[in-house]
Amino acid sequence: MSLEVFFVAIISSMLINNVVLMRFLGVCPFLGVSKKTESAIGMSAAVMFVMVVASFVTYLLYYYVLEPVGITYISTIAFILIIASLVQLVEMFIKKFSKKLYKGLGIYLPLIVTNCAILGVAEGNIAQGYATDYGVLSGLWVATTSAFGAALGFGLVMFLFSAIRERLDHTDVPPAWKGLPVSLVTAGIMAMAFLGLGGMV
Amino acid sequence: MDILIGVLVTAGIVCVYLITFLLNKNTHSPMEASDADPEVCGTCANYTCGVKQQHFTEEVRS
C-alpha cells in the first residue's frame, strides 16, 4: 500500500469532507467553545485524542470481536461506551495537569461523549469499507489516518473560527448582529469557502 | 448463544467504562478551577467572559 493512500485519506477527511463544515457533525462544541482561542485549542486537542484513539479501538473491536461473533447490532452501544471511557480518561488528565483548561472547557469537556463527530467518524470508518478495500489490518491504518485527518480538520476549523470570533468581538458589529447571529453567518461563509476545496483529491 | 456473547461483550465494555469513571471521580478537581467570585472579579463587559456573562447585554431594537 502506497503512501498516496494515507495522504489522500488525510487531505480528504481534513479539508474536502471536513467533519464540521461539510458533514455538519460536532457543531455544538464548534459554536460553544469557540469564544476564546485558548479554549478552542484545548477542546480541539481533547477531541483529536478521543477521535483517533476511539477510531482505532472501535475498528479493532468491530472486525475482531463483533463481526466474527455476529453481534454487529451492538456496535453503536459498544462504540459509545468506548468513547465515554476515553472521555473519562481525558477529563482526568486535564483535571490533573491543566487547571486553566479544565475551567475553560467547563461542561463541554464531559459533553465530548455526545459529540456526534467522534461517533460519526468511528461509524464512518466501518461504513467506508476500508477492510474490504485494503484488508482488515491495512484498513486499520487507513481508518486511523482518516480519523486523524478528520481530527485535524476539526481542530483547524475550531482554531480559525475562534480567531475570527475574537476579532469580531473588537469590531463595530451592528447591535442586531452582535453575538451568535454574526457567528452563524461567519460559519456559513467558512462552509462555503471549504466547499471550494471539493474535487481537489 | 449469540445473545449471551453480546451481553458478555457489552458487560465487559461497561466494566471498562465504570473503571475509568471511578478513576475520574477519585481525581479531585483543582481549587483554581472553581468559579471565580463575581463580586471580586473586575472583568470588562465582554461577551466572551465566562465569569461575568451577565454583564454583556445585547441591545435589542424595539
> Which residue type does A73 have?
Y
CB contact, 8 Å: A8 with chain B? no
Q: Which of A16-20, A61-65, A82-86, A170-174 has the lowest mean pLDDT?
A: A170-174
The set of long-range contacts for A129-138, using a CB threshold of 8 Å and a minimum separation of 24, is A131/A63, A134/A1, A134/A5, A136/A63, A136/A64, A138/A1
For residue A102, tell me if it sits in a domain: yes
| Residue from A33, A88, A91, A113 whose CB has the most chain B CBs within 10 Å, to mutate | A88
For residue A159, tell me if it sits in a domain: yes
Checking if the pLDDT of A32 tops 80, the result is yes
Q: Would you call A88 and B24 a contact, using CB atoms and an 8 Å cutoff? A: yes
Q: Which of A111-125, A171-185, B47-61 has the lowest mean pLDDT?
A: B47-61
Where is pLDDT greater, at A77 or B35?
A77
For chain A, the domain total comes to 1
For residue A60, tell me if it sits in a domain: yes
Interface ipTM > 0.90: no
Q: Tens-digit pLDDT profile for chain B (62 aa)?
A: 777 887 888 889 999 999 999 988 888 766 555 555 656 665 555 555 555 555 555 555 55
Checking if the pLDDT of A56 tops 90, the result is yes
The predicted model scores a pTM of 0.78
For residue A201, tell me if it sits in a domain: no
- Boundaries of domain holding A188: 3-195
For residue A200, tell me if it sits in a domain: no
A81 by Cβ neighbours in 10 Å (0-12 / 13-18 / 19+) ranks as: buried
Contacts of residue A152, Cβ cutoff 8 Å, sequence gap at least 6:
A10, A14, A48
